[in-house]
Amino acid sequence: MDIAEVARRSGLPASTLRFYEEKGVIASVGRQGLRRRFGPGVLDQLALVALGQAAGFTLDEIRSMFSPEGKPSIDRRMLTAKAGELDATIKRLKAMSEGLKHAAVCRAPSHAECPSFQRLLKAAAAGALEPSDRKPRLQRRAA
């Protein structure tokens, strides 16, 4: 099927398809005139790309999920590691959500006097609320 048909059926712009091809995530099977042609399995590949991106995988990681023939070949250890990252993110976001909900209804006269909100602020300043793959933006000096 040509690139216009793949774009229509996948909902992705042709520019994204060309980018994915350039990055080695998908491969065209040839050209008809100036138009790229793709095999019937490209839609399944694009579905796996979408799933991988939704889970937070990079395009390089997603590319590694395909064999040279374009068939799924997914490293189970990589899936387990990503699941662990997602679990840590969920835990961090849940703690943040609970802290913010508490601060919204706290009976303290101001947020500056709310112990729970102060703990949340200290955790943020220490970088504890940042994703584990990023360094804290503020470096705190030891007191």
Report which DSSP code applies to 138. S
Encode pLDDT of 29-88 as tens digits.
Answer: 988 888 899 998 999 999 999 999 999 999 999 999 998 888 899 999 999 999 999 999
Element containing residue 35 per DSSP (H, E) = strand 35-37
Residue 14 confidence (pLDDT): 95
User: What is the percent of the chain where pLDDT is above 70?
Assistant: 90
Higher pLDDT, 131 or 41: 41
Fold of 3-63: Multidrug-efflux Transporter Regulator; Chain: A; Domain 2 (1.10.1660)
Q: Where are the alpha helices (DSSP H) in the chain?
A: 3-10, 14-22, 42-54, 59-63, 76-105, 115-125
Encode pLDDT of 93-106 as tens digits.
Answer: 898 888 888 888 88
Task: Tell me the domain boundaries of the chain.
Answer: 3-63, 90-125
Question: Measured between alpha carbons, how far is 102 from 111 in angstroms, rounded to an integer?
Answer: 10
Cβ-based neighbours of 10, under 8 Å, separated by 6 or more: 17, 43, 46
What is the value of pTM for the model shown? 0.72
